[in-house]
């Protein structure tokens, strides 16, 4: 690569990061508005026209606050973990196959699994470095939840990888030009959606932030910019997972207007689920993944593997 290509890639990456942050700002505003109307109230109204500047006002206020270190906490880990979570969240965005391809990963699946597994370390180190019992309990509960659902999500991704016989996300657009995977993989689609909810710690699986027991979970001691970065990373991951779901099951010819319309519908469904469903019970959450989602994803994995073997044998016999 020459200097011009490196510079243009850098400019595109900076533009992507800015657009992701703006998307997060308006997604939080949408969530507050939707939850407000579901609870028969208006939501943010005062700052700007119909409260449209409210997220930027909140961000400026948070970053201007004092960053408080808890007593006897691990200062280094406590300070850098929010930045690490934000970096991980933004790093996954290079996987999406845009029309203007920034990095065309041939091993997108493996990179995605690596990024998803690294998110657990942020939770563990943040909870441990805070020197708070609430943070440690939230960290332990969240670690068990994320690792459990990561197993089923990884098996689902492996099933899809075997189905398209490749590691690249661009292949999904090729295979879904005529019919979406949603129609003949509907059980797997539901398992993926629920696993994404649990992976993102969203309601009804928000056990890390059980207000009645753990107040705010592993991030209870964070204030100012640290809390804002964790908040940004969480909502950036929600938008990314919505886009990933569209690529896997609702793909089309390319990333066009209808793709972003589907993305908005899936993102809205995350908010809708939060406003509608009560928090699940923790033991039922664990039973759901180990007794139901794991067998379903394993059966699909073996089925796709056998199907691909049969197709390959038929092709080789014809030749």
- Residue 1: CB atoms within 10 A of its CB come to 8
CA distance linking residue 89 with residue 283, whole number of Å: 29
The per-residue pLDDT of the chain, averaged, comes to 86
Q: Residues 213, 207: contact at Cβ < 8 Å?
A: no
Q: What is the pLDDT of residues 86-106, one digit of tens each?
A: 999 988 888 876 655 555 677
Q: How far apart are the first and last CA of the chain?
A: 41
Tokens of 9: 């890639």
Evaluate whether 311 touches 163 at the Cβ level (below 8 Å).
no
pLDDT in tens, 183-221: 988 999 999 999 999 888 887 888 777 666 656 677 888
Per-residue pLDDT band at 146 (split at 50, 70, 90): confident
Give the span between the Cα atoms of 102 and 41, in whole angstroms.
Answer: 42
Residue 173 main-chain phi, psi, to 5 deg: -70, -30
According to the model, what pLDDT value does residue 299 have? 92
In this prediction, residue 296 carries a pLDDT of 92
Q: Are 30 and 23 in contact (CB under 8 A)?
A: no
> Domain coordinates of the chain in residue numbers?
3-50+57-318
pLDDT of residue 311: 86
7 vs 302, more confident = 302
Check residue 214 and give its pLDDT. Answer: 58
Residue 58 tokens read as 């909140």
Q: Which helix (H) or strand (E) holds 161?
A: helix 133-164
pTM: 0.92
């Amino acid at each position: 690569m020459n200097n011009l290509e490196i510079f243009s890639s850098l400019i595109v990456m900076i533009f992507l990061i800015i657009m992701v942050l703006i998307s997060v700002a308006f997604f939080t505003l949408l969530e507050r508005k939707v939850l407000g109307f579901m609870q028969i109230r208006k939501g943010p109204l005062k700052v700007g026209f119909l409260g449209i500047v409210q997220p930027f006002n909140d961000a400026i206020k948070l970053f201007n606050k004092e960053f408080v270190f808890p007593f006897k906490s691990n200062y280094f880990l406590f300070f850098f973990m929010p930045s690490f979570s934000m970096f991980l969240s933004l790093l996954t965005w290079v996987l999406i196959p845009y029309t203007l391809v920034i990095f065309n990963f041939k091993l997108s699946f493996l990179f995605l699994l690596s990024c998803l597994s690294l998110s657990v370390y942020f939770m563990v180190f943040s909870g441990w470095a805070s020197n708070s019992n609430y943070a440690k309990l939230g960290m332990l509960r969240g670690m068990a939840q994320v690792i459990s659902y990561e197993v089923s999500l990884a098996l689902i991704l492996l099933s899809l990888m075997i189905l398209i016989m490749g590691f690249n996300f661009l292949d999904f657009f090729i295979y879904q030009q005529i019919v979406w995977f949603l129609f003949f993989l509907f059980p797997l689609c539901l398992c993926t959606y629920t696993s994404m909810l649990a992976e993102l710690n969203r309601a009804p699986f928000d056990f890390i932030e059980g207000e009645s027991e753990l107040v705010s979970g592993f991030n209870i001691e964070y204030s100012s910019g640290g809390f804002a970065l964790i908040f940004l990373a969480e909502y950036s991951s929600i938008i990314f997972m919505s886009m990933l779901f569209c690529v896997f099951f609702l793909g089309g010819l390319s990333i066009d207007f209808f793709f972003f319309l589907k993305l908005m519908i899936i993102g809205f469904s995350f908010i809708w689920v939060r406003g509608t469903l009560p928090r699940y019970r923790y033991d039922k959450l664990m039973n759901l993944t180990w007794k139901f989602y794991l067998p379903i994803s394993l059966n699909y994995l073996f089925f796709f593997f056998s199907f691909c073997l049969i197709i390959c044998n038929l092709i080789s016999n014809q030749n």
